[in-house]
Structures are given as structure tokens and as C-alpha cells.
Amino acid sequence: MADLFVINSGISRLHSQHLFVVLFFNDAYQDPANRKLCLLHRLTSCRFHPFARTLKLCGRDIPSSIIPPPYVLNEKVTVPNVPLVHSSESIEQLRHAGSIVHQLFEELRQFLKPGLTTQDVDNFIFAACIAKHVYPSPLGYCGFPKSVCTSVNEVACHGIPSVEQSLRAGDLLSVDISIFTGTVHGDACRSYVLSDASDHVDVLHSDPSKYDPETDPARFLCAVAENCCAAGTRICLPGTPYAEIATTICKVADLYGCSVVPGIRGHGLADFLHGPPEIIHSVNELRSTDTETLGCMKSGHVFTIEPCLALSKSTDGRKNRYCPSPVHPVVLDDGWTVVTLNRSLTAQFENTVLITDSGHDVLT
């Protein structure tokens, strides 16, 4: 789940109106030490059933066997000021979380087809998470009301699943899956082009030049976005400045005439979902950033690389050194859904990356 940065292009963080919701217990659980208050978004309702011990959140029943992340119960997690150098135990936990996210995407690919709604996708991911005994991290995060982000066509990120949004052949769907294992989070995003063919999801060629951006823009953009994510990942090793990720990604985007959407950043993760390091993907942001403060990669760092690409051309006919034109992001009235100002077609790929002594491992 991407972190949003406040920039002049119009992105603003959601400042939620909150209300207190009490976790109710029967007489056997009246000890004040057992009571908790949940500070949740106005869209969220939360209740604890004393016998089944089922947490109800945003209309979902969370079994007692599932450990929710601390923010669901308004418990604080200390987010460090600098990137964590993870212990071997923490790395194994993150590997496990990443493998579950990978499994979820494998299962989702078999499920997707035209005619589904994005709410069907949310239902599928929620059920799959519960079956794997993990919590869907977006559910209740800063008031987000669903278990997964589903961003269709011009939606760049944080799309909210809906029963009213049907998927059609040719749609470009980006699905951002985050899970909490009870100890750490896992996070990744994939983009798909839906098809009427028997497998319902196109298997994309790794070379974007195989697609005509004029006649086949969705497949072209997906291939570019995947290449950008892979390029940013390939340079990861100890000592590499974090600013180099943006430079590398934008060179690839520029090669194919696409733009990196600014303000959608990668992040570190552990028992927190968003923390340092902060990963910038657009060189347009680097120009207003003290790149020294971004730091360098160290063995044991874990973070996401998640560039969001927009299909757009330079508006003034001049080609900049990198990324033909910044595509300004805008947050819609729901406080979550991000689109570009000109409603460009967008695609996003994300992986969680571990820096090792000799290079990197992709955990998702």
C-alpha cells in the first residue's frame, strides 16, 4: 500500500474525522485491564464478541485466530527515524510475509475475469487472507474501509473496491495487497489487463516495444511499469544511494515516453506498514529534495519499490532529460482515490526488497 507524500501538485493526506468505539466484554471480561478503546475512522465500526472473540471491522468478521495490526486497536507502534537494519529473525518474518503476498497474487490471477466487480476482488482477498491466517493490512488503516486497493484504468493508487464497479475486457487493473502476519507486514502490487480469452488475464511480454502505445495502451503501459520496477530493483545493493532508484526508473520511463506519477512513494516496513526509508520514484521530486537526507542502502534494509506509470506525452513538445512531463496526482473526494490531473491511464508494480551483503532479494 503506497505512502502518499504531500506535494504542491495537490496531494493531501486524509485527515479523518474519528469516533471512539468500545470493545465490549461480558461480565467475565470487565477487568479494566482488558478494555480497549479503538480510535477509528467514521466509516469504521468495531465490536468484540466475548464468546466467539470475533472482531467486527468495516462489516467484516475477523476470527480470534487472526492477530490484527496495532493500529486497528489504536495501539502505538514505534516507527524509527532511520531505516531499520533488520535482525535475522525479523528478515525471516518478512520473507514469510512476502511469500504469502506472492501466493495471494498467484491465486488472484486465477480468479480475475471480466464481469467481476472490484468488490468481488476485495471479497476474494479477504477470504484468502483469513484462510492463510493473516490480516489484510489496508482494512481499517487510517480509516480505509476495504481489504485491498483496486485501481482501475485512470486510478493511480488507493482505489476503493465497490459493488458498482464492474471489470470489463481491456481494463487495466492494479491490485495492491498488504498483509499482517501478527508480527510484520508484507506488501506488493501487480497490474493486469483483463481479457475475454480463456485465461482471462493477459500474459504480458517483457518487452514494451512489442506493443503499440496507440492501439494497445494498457498492455504497453503495464510492460513499461513492470520494467521500471525491475530496473529500480536491479541497482539495489549496499552503498547505493536511495536517490538512484528514481534516476534509474525515470530513464526507463523516458525511453518509452511515459511519466512517473510523483508523490506515490515506497517505504520501509516491519511491524509498521509505513516507515523509513522513503523511496522516491520520480526525478521531478528529487529536484526539490535534499538527496543526502535519503541516505544509502545497507545490508538488512527492507523497503518497497512501487513506481506508478502514466501514459502521457510532453505538453510543450520539448523532451526533458528524464520523464517527459510530471503527471500531477489528485486525491478525489473520498480522501483515498488518486488520479492524475489529466486522467491518464496508469499502471503500478511493487515489490518488497531486502538488501543483502552482496546485493538484494525480492521478498514478494
C-alpha cell at 308: 506508478
Distance CA 321, CA 27 (A): 68
Q: Nearest Cα to 347, choosing from 117, 203, 176, 137?
A: 176
Task: Give pLDDT tens digits for 308-330.
Answer: 999 875 434 444 444 445 688 99
Check residue 205 and give its pLDDT: 74
Check residue 4 and give its pLDDT: 73
C-alpha cell at 211: 506493443
Radius of gyration of the chain from Cα atoms? 20
Average pLDDT over residues 270-288: 95
Average pLDDT over residues 45-74: 77
Yes or no: domain 3-12+79-362 corresponds to CATH 3.90.230.10: yes
Distance CA 160, CA 14 (A): 14
- Specify the range with the lowest mean pLDDT, choosing from 78-82, 159-163, 314-318: 314-318
Check residue 8 and give its pLDDT: 41
Distance CA 284, CA 286 (A): 6
The residue with cell 482501475 is: 152
CA distances (Å), origin 51, targets 28, 29, 185: 10, 10, 28
- Specify the range with the lowest mean pLDDT, choosing from 121-125, 297-301, 318-322: 318-322
**Domain ranges, ordered by start, for the chain:** 3-12+79-362
Instruction: Report DSSP state, residue 54.
Output: P
Distance CA 343, CA 363 (A): 32
Continuous segment of H or E residues that includes residue 106: helix 88-111
Confidence (pTM): 0.85
Check residue 37 and give its pLDDT: 30
Average pLDDT over residues 210-234: 96
Percent of all residues in the chain with a pLDDT value above 90, rounded to a whole number: 72
Angle, helix 118-131 to helix 88-111, in steps of 10 degrees: 140
**244 vs 201, higher pLDDT:** 244
Check residue 1 and give its pLDDT: 85
CA distances (Å), origin 246, targets 124, 257, 293: 34, 16, 15
Check residue 327 and give its pLDDT: 84
Distance CA 299, CA 244 (A): 17
C-alpha cell at 242: 536511495
β partners of residue 177:
188
Cis, peptide link before residue 277, omega less than 30° from 0: yes
Query: Phi then psi for 152, rounded to 5 degrees?
Result: -110, 130
Check residue 313 and give its pLDDT: 54
pLDDT band at 38 (very low <50, low <70, confident <90, very high): very low
pLDDT band at 297 (very low <50, low <70, confident <90, very high): very high
Distance CA 138, CA 160 (A): 10
Q: Nearest Cα to 208, choosing from 194, 196, 219, 192?
A: 219
> Please, what is the Cα angle at 242 between 236 and 248, to 5 degrees?
70
What average pLDDT is seen over the chain? 85
CB atoms within 10 A of CB 174: 25
Check residue 202 and give its pLDDT: 72
Beta strand ranges found along 217-289 (DSSP E)? 259-260, 264-268, 275-279
Is the pLDDT at 42 greater than 50? The verdict is no
Average pLDDT over residues 189-215: 86
Is the pLDDT at 347 greater than 50? The verdict is yes
> Please, what is the Cα angle at 306 between 229 and 268, to 5 degrees?
120
Are 227 and 212 in contact by the 8 Å Cβ rule? The answer is no
